[in-house]
Amino acid sequence: MAGISNNNIARAIYLASKTDSGESFYKKVVHFLAKKRLISKSGDILARLNKIINEEEGRAVAKVSSSRKLDSDLKKELEQKIARRYAMKTANIIENLDERLLGGFKIEVNDEVIDLTLKNKISQLQEYLIKS
């Protein structure tokens, strides 16, 4: 017999939470996970649940890595462009400061990575010049 995937468990929790979201509901969820010996997978289940909630609410979550803190105007512009690109109502940006980056930034949304770092641009230019 095939096991139930973490994604299916997360979807079931999400659907059940729409009708019963009291404190006892969450105790039941934890009890279910413990009974089925899935506590060790709870991190993955919660990540999938969070992804389902974001999709249902029309929210894109992007992790943006840069060498310095984004100013508010750039952050607002990125949120708008990401929301438009992924056809979502809103976008949330999680900033990650990475001092190893020379400049630019890297954007990660779901499984897609948009690399706008200076190192990547130099690498692309180098590749172009070598091919020509």
Nearest Cα residue to 105 out of 123, 87, 73, 78: 78
pTM value > 0.85? no
Beta bridge mates, 107: 64, 114
> Cα–Cα distance between 130 and 16 in angstroms, integer?
57
19-42 confidence digits (pLDDT tens): 876 778 888 888 888 888 889 999
d(CA 104, CA 116) in angstroms, rounded, equals: 6
pLDDT digits (tens, 9 = 90+) for 115-124: 999 999 999 9
Question: Do the beta carbons of residue 114 and residue 106 sit within 8 Å?
Answer: yes
Q: Domain-by-domain residue ranges, the chain?
A: 6-55, 63-131
